[in-house]
Amino acid sequence: ADGKGTGPPDDDEDGGGHVGEVRASFEPTDDGGDEPPAEMEADEAAASMELMQADLEARLTEWQLHGAAAGSAAEEAWRALEGRTASLSQELCEQLRLILEPTVASKLEGDYRTGKRISMRKVIPYIASGFRKDKIWLRRTKPSKRKYQIMLCIDDSQSMRETGAGSLACESLALICQALSTVEAGQLAVASFAENVELLHPFERPFTADAGAHMLSRFTFSQRNTNMEGLLRTVVSTLRLAREQQSAGSAEQMQLAFIVSDGWRSPVWGDPQHWIRLAAQEHILLCFVVLDSAASKDSILEMKQISYNSKGSMTMSRYIDSFPFPYYLVLRELSALPQVLADALRQWFEMLKE
């Protein structure tokens, strides 16, 4: 997320590394044993990843074919997603620990005349001073817990299936949910959107594997249109209500919303500019994660749009250059998600400090 947007890494036109074919051969060692070199280990790792990906795609296909009625299929698909994204979610978790600073003071510290607990290290000096050095109490003034409200919105439109972004969206959902739960970032809500918005997981409910399977079972990727204006209206109102439900006197709530979509506009897309400005006024970070296909001629980075000026002259420009969201990132491979998402969050928090 550099400036207005973030595209694929410069050193790789496909936006991430590819697991290619690895051929390995080795000669017997001096002691007569056959010891495979590092290339053999890489070959085995690549084969293992390919098998895991094939199993995941098979489970997702079975779930999508049977729909919401197949609860067991959704549970198996969610377990496969968790296994597939386990290492990447741990990578994102470590990044979030550094970026999402603790906001709730829950750790004891300090030297006070009154407080919640006595500092045992100060008792002996207190007695030795003739009870004059009486700052022996601790208070909960050190931030040690995170209290963010994060809303994750997944595009459930038909174009997600047609562009092949549906599977990547499900993987991104599992990855982000696992990382946020592990780091204990605060409250998490998940919604699906297209023609309508459906809240799949509310803020007040803890996230579990069963909750993940339930969310997965609600996706169909069959809705024909995407109402982006309606989504943003729901996001702003939901986060506003969640903020108002805080107890009086609590610290200011940090709120973030991630929109995961292929970025394609439909006839009912609407004008999201008003809601984007309103979200900024209410200190809500809106980050749009564009799921793109690097191998497709329909890549969002290659799409063109035509506009006419007041004189009727036609001009052609890149679609992404007029993308309405000020903070967006283009994702082509799941392996790039932890780093690009962490970079986007880091830049946003740096802007807040300024």
What is the reported pLDDT for 136?
A: 59
What is the reported pLDDT for 35?
A: 45
Q: Could you tell me the pTM of the whole model?
A: 0.70
207: phi > 0 → left, psi -120 to 50 → alpha, else beta; which? beta
pLDDT digits (tens, 9 = 90+) for 176-193: 999 999 888 788 999 999
pLDDT at 50 over 70: no
What is the reported pLDDT for 348?
A: 80
What is the reported pLDDT for 24?
A: 31
Selected residue with higher pLDDT from 171 and 143? 171
CA torsion sign for 88, 93, 98, 99 is positive
Rg of the chain, C-alpha, whole Å: 25
pLDDT digits (tens, 9 = 90+) for 271-327: 899 999 999 999 899 999 999 876 667 788 888 888 777 777 888 888 888 899 998
Selected residue with higher pLDDT from 106 and 19? 106
Q: How far apart are CA 231 and CA 218, in angstroms?
A: 17
What stretches of the chain show up as alpha helix (H) in DSSP?
A: 38-66, 71-99, 123-128, 158-162, 165-183, 209-217, 228-244, 273-281, 337-353
Task: Classify residue 79 by burial, with Cβ atoms within 10 Å: 0-12, 13-18, 19+.
Answer: middle
Mean pLDDT of the chain: 76
What is the reported pLDDT for 251?
A: 56
- Show me where the domains of the chain are located: 84-101+146-353, 105-144
Amino acid at 124: I
Among 6, 16, 8, 341, residue whose Cα is nearest residue 180: 341
Neighbours of 56 (CB within 10 A): 21
Q: Which CATH number fits domain 84-101+146-353: 1.10.10.10, 3.50.50.60, 3.40.50.410, 3.40.718.10?
A: 3.40.50.410
| Residue percentage of the chain with pLDDT more than 70 | 64
pLDDT digits (tens, 9 = 90+) for 284-293: 999 999 998 7
